[in-house]
């Protein structure tokens, strides 16, 4: 079994003497900055002027420009969107890194695909939480954590591994388990997982189920509860105890249907498509396409996003969720608060 690190094996001292700049205050950035601070570390935030800056200041952080945050820090965690990291790195991070500093990432994309080539005199490591940033924060606040992978790309000081483990502890990941990886393994498995299973696989499975039921004449509300709402309840059982635990709770009829019909929906053909997706990730074809899409200002991204938001499951889902206020977790509340802020700003 792979070596998994937990809290008590980790030496925190190596990071306690350092100042950490969290660059970016979005999904991961706010979670890292708040969790690290509550774990006793010295954290500043690096941002451009805008809504994240306002939020980080409201949360009590000293907020600098990216350049100034890098200047005052020993460890710089880059939590900007992958597609903006290269330009910000060239303009504001690289010129201000000092020999012996550490630069860190939550995803290996830009290092692995050579979009960022770090100077040879800084440590470069990865702490990649295996979960969305808002859950990195929410689980930490609840006394738990989201597991993470750590990896070292460059170890100049001899401390890169200890720094990455201490950082993982600081964000709460060592409560759940921290596992060694390489930038290559993290990048390729993460891209594959989000495309084929967690995001692309799941959303398309849900939509196909919803469409199959509604096209057969069943009520959209019934199809929504069956194919979207209940996914969370089933996934909770998988999260808590794996396949066996979920199958223990569902009826034997459902379990029999799982055995005989599941493999007809997700089958060898699906697995062959998954292998295609993985090959495109491994060869860099996916990365190249995403980089070019951004250079062209995302024409396909925005067009597909607009269509997806108009899918009938979104309309019925919104109506039903409005009648179930208890499902509105803090992320929804944050998004709604943000809309209010934007209205004030644009007015
Ligand atoms: N989302 C997730 O849960 C996960 C993300 N990751 C990785 O974490 C990294 C960050 O992703 P994520 O948290 O999703 O990013 P978000 O899009 O949620 O947040 C990006 C942050 O960067 C700021 N920002 C954007 N452009 C600039 C700029 N030019 N200069 C300064 N600040 C800027 C934004 O501020 P502003 O308000 O000004 O736009 C915002 O605070 C990525 O490498 C991603 O792959 C890894 C695991 C999971
Ligand atoms: C599943 C998507 C993810 O990889 C994540 C939350 O782990 C991401 O890039 O946001
Ligand atoms: Mg991921
Ligand atoms: Mg990812």
Mean pLDDT, residues 327-341:
62
The answer to whether 175 is a known ligand-binding residue is no
Return mean pLDDT, the chain. Answer: 95
Give the residue from 3, 40, 22 showing the smallest Cα distance to 169. Answer: 40
125 DSSP 8-state letter: E
Residue 187 within any structural domain of the chain: no
Domain ends where: 128, 153, 181? Answer: 181
Q: Looking at residue 17, what is its pLDDT?
A: 87
| 57 in Cβ contact with 163 (< 8 Å) | no
Active-site annotation, residues: 107
Domain ends where: 181, 210, 234? Answer: 181
Nearest ligand 2 atom to alpha carbon 190 = 4
Residue 139 sits in the same domain as residue 202: no
d(CA 114, CA 93): 16
Residue 110 within any structural domain of the chain: yes
Domain housing 252: 193-342
In this predicted model, what pLDDT tens digit does every residue of 14-37 receive, in sequence order?
A: 999 899 999 999 999 999 999 999
Mean pLDDT, residues 128-146:
98
Antiparallel, parallel or unpaired: β 19-23 and 4-5: unpaired
Residue 176 sits in the same domain as residue 213: no
What ipTM goes with this model?
A: 0.99
Q: Does the structure show a pLDDT above 90 at 38?
A: yes
Residue 117 sits in the same domain as residue 225: no
Closest protein CA for atom 39 of ligand 1: 52
Residue 186 within any structural domain of the chain: no
Q: Looking at residue 328, what is its pLDDT?
A: 81
Q: How many domains does the chain have?
A: 2
Nearest ligand 2 atom to alpha carbon 199 = 1
Residue 162 sits in the same domain as residue 31: yes
CATH number reported for the structural domain that contains residue 177 in this entry: 3.40.50.720
d(CA 41, CA 33): 9
Domain ends where: 140, 156, 181? Answer: 181
Q: Does the structure show a pLDDT above 90 at 280?
A: yes
Residue 160 sits in the same domain as residue 240: no
Mean pLDDT, residues 89-108:
98
φ, ψ dihedrals at 79, nearest 5° = -120, 45
In this predicted model, what pLDDT tens digit does every residue of 303-319 receive, in sequence order?
A: 999 999 999 999 999 99
Burial of 59 (0-12, 13-18, 19+ CB in 10 A): middle
Q: Long-range contacts for 210-213 (Cβ within 8 Å, ≥24 apart)?
A: 210/312, 210/313
Residues with CB under 6 A from ligand 2: 131-132, 190, 194, 198-199
């Amino acid at each position: 079994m792979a070596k998994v690190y937990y809290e008590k094996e980790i030496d925190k001292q190596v990071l306690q003497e350092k100042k950490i700049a969290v660059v970016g205050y979005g999904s991961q950035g706010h979670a890292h900055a708040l969790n690290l601070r509550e774990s006793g570390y010295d954290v500043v935030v690096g941002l451009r002027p805008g809504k994240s800056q306002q939020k980080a200041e409201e949360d009590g952080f000293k907020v600098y420009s990216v350049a100034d945050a890098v200047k005052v820090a020993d460890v710089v965690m880059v939590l900007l969107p992958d597609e903006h990291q290269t330009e910000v790195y060239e303009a504001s991070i690289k010129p201000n890194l000092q020999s012996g500093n550490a630069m860190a990432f939550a995803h290996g994309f830009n290092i692995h695909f050579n979009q960022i080539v770090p100077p040879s005199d800084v440590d470069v490591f990865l702490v990649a939480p295996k979960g969305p940033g808002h859950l990195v924060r929410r689980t930490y606040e609840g006394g738990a954590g989201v597991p993470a992978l750590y990896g070292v790309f460059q170890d100049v000081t001899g401390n890169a591994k200890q720094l990455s483990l201490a950082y993982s502890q600081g964000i709460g990941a060592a409560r759940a388990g921290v596992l060694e990886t390489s930038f290559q393994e993290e990048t390729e498995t993460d891209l594959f997982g989000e495309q084929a299973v967690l995001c692309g696989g799941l959303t398309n499975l849900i939509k196909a189920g919803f469409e199959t039921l509604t096209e057969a004449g069943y009520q959209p509300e019934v199809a929504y509860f069956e194919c979207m709402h209940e996914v969370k309840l089933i996934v909770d059982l998988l999260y808590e105890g794996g396949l066996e635990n979920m199958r223990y709770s569902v009826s034997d009829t459902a379990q029999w249907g799982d055995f005989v019909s599941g493999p007809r929906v997700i089958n060898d053909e699906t697995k062959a498509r998954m292998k295609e997706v993985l090959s495109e990730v491994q060869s860099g074809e996916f990365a190249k396409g995403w980089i070019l899409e951004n250079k062209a200002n995302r024409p396909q991204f925005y067009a597909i996003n607009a269509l997806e938001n108009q899918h009938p499951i979104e309309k019925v889902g919104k109506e039903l969720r409005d009648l179930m206020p208890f499902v509105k977790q803090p992320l929804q509340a944050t998004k709604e608060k943000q809309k209010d802020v934007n209205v004030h700003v644009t007015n």
